[in-house]
Amino acid sequence: MVKEKGIKELEDLPGIGPTTADKLKQSGYDSIEKIATASPHELAELTGMSVDNAKKAVDAAKQATTLEYSTASQVYEKRRALGRISTSSNALDEMLGGGLEANAITEAYGKFASGKTQLGFQLCVNAQKPVGSGGLGGKVLFIDTEGTFRPDRIEQIAKASGADPKEALENIMVVRTTTSDQQILAIERADKLVKESNVKLVIIDSLMSLFRSEFLGRGALGERQQKLNSHIHKLQKLADTYDLAVYITNQVMDNPAILFGDPTTPVGGNIVAHAATTRLYMRKSKEDKRIVRLVDSPNMPEGEAVVKITPDGIRD
Ligand code: GTP
Ligand code: MG
């Protein structure tokens, strides 16, 4: 955590002007913390500044950086105070420990029509409610990679929840992306929007569909996972920096290697599985019923909740 007043940007460090700062940023040294742990020789090589000057910049960055030690009970208090977005189903909220967590990534995976997108719509409306009333009091950024965003559904769900449908729609920013590069850029460029518009929920529906169709075959898998890794890392950073919730959806593929139980696994492999703080497996039951299983959570026991997809949105 950068503590020292006055040193906030790279340009505030001695010997670093705008040009040098740009070069550093382009090479990934985009924060005071990163400079603090960098080698002066490498910085000198990257920017053309002298090693001596680089050393001064690193020292100043080190001084400006302090670590904050907290007791476990302080961490506990902070976690309890974290906001949550209600899903509009008591059973599902309870299973999640109060709803969708801020500062974290929640992944919903399941087959088509299992309700992943519908749950996303409900969260779009609920995120806007005030803190303490099932929301985070903020706006929503919806990255639609499949062309399945439906404003009329938002309108319906908002009306049913007592919100002003017009306002609810105004507070959702939708980006339709058709390539994985667009999807990556939509997140890379989100900082400004998130900060200025007080975005408290970022949705990617779905995370993998574009990656999956563009990177075909085993040869492309390495590159795909690498891009995906940095994409998810950026998402996590957004969640941490702005105390917002991230909701991503993911389809499943049939996995013939599993002989017993449900032979489906979410797309994206370990990278996605490890990045998501909480994972929900959704599957269709009778009619409008859906079974949501909590697969992976840092602090809640595994469990199942039954929800309904109604015209008004998600319900018990
Ligand atoms: P894919 O994106 O195809 O992987 O599926 P998904 O998991 O996102 O499914 P989605 O959330 O789109 O759920 C589709 C289901 O929601 C459909 O089977 C419908 O039964 C239900 N649904 C969609 N719109 C409405 C609606 O307006 N009213 C009601 N009651 N149900 C709806
Ligand atoms: Mg969908």
pLDDT tens for 255-288 read 666 566 666 777 777 778 778 889 999 999 999 9
Hey, what are 96's tokens?
A: 């999640």
Task: Report the separation in Å between the CA atom of 149 and the middle of ligand 1, taken as the mean of its atom positions.
Answer: 11
Hey, what are 228's tokens?
A: 């995906």
> Other C-beta atoms within 10 Å of 256: how many?
7
Q: Whose CA is nearest to atom 1 of ligand 1?
A: 112
**What CATH number does the domain located at 10-63 have?**
1.10.150.20
Q: In this structure, are residues 130 and 137 in contact, taking their beta carbons and an 8 Å threshold?
A: yes
* Helix (H) / strand (E) containing 254: strand 245-254
What's the confidence (pLDDT) of residue 79?
65
What's the confidence (pLDDT) of residue 48?
93
Alpha helices in the chain (DSSP H): 18-26, 32-36, 40-47, 51-64, 72-81, 90-95, 116-126, 151-160, 165-170, 180-188, 190-197, 209-214, 221-242, 269-275
Pairing relation of β-strands 245-254 and 104-110? parallel
Q: Whose CA is nearest to atom 15 of ligand 1?
A: 113
Report whether residue 279 contacts ligand 1, using a CB cutoff of 6 Å.
Answer: no
CATH fold for the domain made of 79-315: Rossmann fold (3.40.50)
113 CA closest ligand 1 atom index: 9
Give the CA diameter of the chain. Answer: 70
What's the confidence (pLDDT) of residue 81?
62
Hey, what are 166's tokens?
A: 């017009």
What's the confidence (pLDDT) of residue 260?
62
Q: In this structure, are residues 245 and 136 in contact, taking their beta carbons and an 8 Å threshold?
A: yes
Q: Whose CA is nearest to atom 11 of ligand 1?
A: 115
What's the confidence (pLDDT) of residue 261?
61
Total-model pTM: 0.78
What's the confidence (pLDDT) of residue 78?
67
What's the confidence (pLDDT) of residue 258?
59
CA distances from 131 to 84, 126, 128, 136, 200 (A): 8, 10, 9, 5, 11
What's the confidence (pLDDT) of residue 153?
98
Residues of the chain with CATH 1.10.150.20: 10-63
Residues of the chain with CATH 3.40.50.300: 79-315
Report whether residue 266 contacts ligand 1, using a CB cutoff of 6 Å.
Answer: no
Report whether residue 309 contacts ligand 1, using a CB cutoff of 6 Å.
Answer: yes
251 CA closest ligand 1 atom index: 4
Q: In this structure, are residues 213 and 177 in contact, taking their beta carbons and an 8 Å threshold?
A: no
* Helix (H) / strand (E) containing 12: none
Task: Report the separation in Å between the CA atom of 146 and the middle of ligand 2, taken as the mean of its atom positions.
Answer: 7
Nearest-angstrom CA–CA distance, 56 and 50: 10
What's the confidence (pLDDT) of residue 161?
96
- What residues of the chain score a pLDDT lower than 70? 1-5, 77-81, 255-263
